[in-house]
Structure 1
Amino acid sequence: MKKWLSLGLASLMFGCTSHIDVTDMNDSMPQPLPTMYDSTILSPQGQSMTLTQLADALKDADIVLVGEWHGHPGAHLMQARLFAALYQQSPNMALSMEQFTRDKQHVVNQYLNGEIGEKTLIKDGNAWPNYSSDYRPLVEFAKINQLDVIAANAPKPIVRCIGQQGESYLDRLPTTERKWVAKQLTLGDDAYHEKFNASMHHGDEEKTKRQFAAQTTWDDTMAESMVDYLALHPGKQIIHVAGRFHVAEGLGTASRITARNPALNVMMVTPVTEKANVAEGSPDFTFQVMQLPTAYVDKDKMHAAMKEIYGRNKTLKCYE
């Protein structure tokens, strides 16, 4: 029964034609991208691949990190299809998500166990606003196949307070909340730190230092969550979904995983566009998608939107 349920949900992911094998999707040679749902897959060496070939290339990975531009339909569709293809290849899997935080793991578990409904999951689990459109397919695939879902991330208020006050903020957290963040943060001048600094343009060195502490809080916490899970569940394969910056070139979450357990085989699947690629020689498998529309043309409107986002910190309550 479980097998048929799995294939039934997979058919919903890939279309209504029930006789199509999930791994046959994307198995034609790459074509021009006619819609934002489409993508073409390349190996780290730049060779065209089918979805089946990609899943086979990832079969020995302990952790598969799949990047996204949040809200990009092609990236989210690829995540769902790859999850199904990896499961069909070897069902001993778990799903790890940036989009749920450690303090909400019990809510995610309640949903997977059928104790609460989706609306309660969204509200009590602090699900992202685009949960229903972009992450529901992943969670439902895990639920119907009785797979664990790891709420891997650190709570946003804690991360924002670290961004304001630096890594020393962790020392002020109550014991009950300190466990929601990685035991150690990676703050050295590694390649990820250099890449982050290069993306900052405000010129305030101390502010950048605090912001990087917040950034790596996400990566270290997600990495620790997965490493700890595999220590308790050896032999499982994890597929982890997160923003592209966390995944690309193995500089973010992957490097934090390796630092905690060098024996784990971590592989990256990163979205690219004609304007955004990975560095030459990177180990990432890539999938090319259409570029997202320009968010703002008017710089004043963009700055106003950014001020609104940063203005939320005025109501942020951090421990003194």
Structure 2
Amino acid sequence: MYAHRNTLVLLSCFLCSQVLAKEQHSAVTTFFDYQLYQKPSNSITLSSLPSQVLKADVVLVGEWHSHSAVHRFQSDLYRLLLDNNENVALSMEQFSRPAQSTLNQYLDNEIGELALIAHGNAWPNYTSDYRALVEQAKAANMPVIAANAPRDIVRCIGKVGSDYLKQLDSKERKLVAAQLDTSDRPYKTNFTEMMEGMDKDVIEKMYAAQVSWDETMAESIAMHIKNNPEHQVMHTAGKFHVENGMGIAYSLNKRMPDLKIALITPVTEVSDISKQSPFPEYQLLVLPLPEQVVSGALNHGMSTHPHSDAKTDCE
């Protein structure tokens, strides 16, 4: 009888999980669709967004670069935050610190979009994926924070290690966070596992590059909030920088431990992540991106990406 009862319980759990999975996928059928979840059994709409997000000092929104649904969500969320709080600065991984003056000129109508793209070193997918966000900030008279470290410097950190920063003059050094925490922690373990098979010294240098992005974005956000304490900040960055609070959130929390931080990360399957993140984390269900590699052959188009294979002198 006891065994029979256990079997029924297990069957019930299995059926519930199957129904839940079906409900999740029924919510997203195109690459423009998304569904936000607080936990697997609790989907939420933007109109019923919890105060953990609405009242957060910083909302970190992870993304899969070029995913239409994720970028649509970012725009929808930013509009909602602006409706709820008139002071919401937009912070972006997609612009590096040297682009700040160019961004400011664009927001002040001193230059046009072509100049912004050219002189701000905008990503190739700016017009399709980030234009909407920047235009929302511009219309609301809100600042856009060029939060990231310059790619050429980060690339050299990846080749030489964090000691490369010692070669920079004082002006260049300010383009990267003053402090880089490359100590052993779960984030480093996850990164190392992703790079499995590579030489340990190579991984150490690549991890230093990864951390330089996280730390610089966190420092940029922290500096803005210290100068503008009335501002809420929404920051966009790649998923790995955001998920589980191990990247940007960890670095930001070290600098300003009293900040209320909320995380939103894209997923293709909703799971229970409540025990993984020290910050409130919400999952954005979207369709998986198409396969980027077929039969082990890299798409030759990748080499045309202006940021993918640029030659940098690190001497």
TM class by shorter-chain length? 0.7 to 0.9
Quick check: 1:161–1:169 contact (8 Å CA) kept in 2?
yes
Contact 1:55 1:86 in 2 (8 A): no
Aligned-partner Cα distance in 2 for 1:278–1:34 = 22
Aligned position for 2:287: 290
1:25 matched residue in structure 2: none
Q: Which residue of structure 2 aligns with residue 72 of structure 1?
A: 67
With 39-48 and 140-149 compared, the bigger mean Cα shift is at 39-48
Separation of aligned partners in 2, 1:102 and 1:55: 32
Cα distance 1:306–1:157, how it changes in 2: closer, same or farther (>3 A)?
same
Contact 2:52 2:262 in 1 (8 A): no
Tell me by how many angstroms 1:131 deviates. 0.2
Residue in structure 2 matched with residue 312 of structure 1 by the alignment: 309
**CA distance change for structure 1 residues 311 and 42 in 2, over 3 Å: closer, same or farther?**
closer
Q: Distance in 2 between matches of 1:56 and 1:80?
A: 19
The range that moved more, 182-191 or 126-135, is 182-191
- Find the partner of 1:101 among 74, 87, 96: 96
Q: Percent identity?
A: 43
Q: Is it true that 1:137 corresponds to 2:132 in the alignment?
A: yes
Shift of 1:54: 2.0
Q: Could you tell me how far apart the structure 2 residues matched to 1:119 and 1:295 are?
A: 29
CA contact (8 A) 1:55 1:85 kept: no
**RMSD in angstroms over aligned alpha carbons?**
2.1
- Specify the SS of the correspondent of 1:128: coil
Alignment match, 1:198: 193
Residues 161-204 of structure 1 deviation map (CA, whole Å, 9 limit, x = unaligned)? 00000000001011111100000101111121111111112330
Alignment of 1:261-276 (within 5 A): 261-274=256-269
Q: Could you tell me which runs of 5 or more consecutive residues in structure 1 were left unpaired when the two chains were aligned.
A: 1-28
Measure the CA separation in 2 of the matches of 1:125 and 1:311.
17
Q: Given that residues 38 and 281 in structure 2 are in contact (C-alpha distance below 8 angstroms), is that contact kept between their aligned partners in structure 1? A: yes
Which residue of 2 is the match for residue 156 of structure 1?
Answer: 151
The 1:168/1:308 distance shift into structure 2, 3 A limit, reads farther
| Alignment correspondent of 1:214 | 209
Does the 8 Å CA contact 1:249/1:278 hold for their aligned counterparts?
A: no
Flag the structure with larger Rg.
2
**Letter matched to residue 78 of structure 1:** F
How far apart are 1:32 and its partner, in Å? 2.8
Are 2:165 and 1:170 equivalent residues in the alignment?
A: yes
Residue 19 (structure 2) aligns with: none
Question: When the two structures are aligned, how many residues end up with a matched partner?
Answer: 288
The CA distance in 1 between the partners of 2:98 and 2:230, in whole Å, is 26
1:217 counterpart letter in structure 2: S
Give the structure-2-normalised TM-score.
Answer: 0.86
Letter in 1 for 2:289: L
Change (3 A) 1:277 1:163: farther
Q: Is 1:299 equivalent to 2:286 in the alignment?
A: no
Residue by residue, what CA displacement relative to the aligned partner does 1:25-55 show, whole Å, maximum 9, x if unpaired? xxxx974312111011111464111112226
Deviation of 1:237 after TM superposition, in Å, equals 0.3
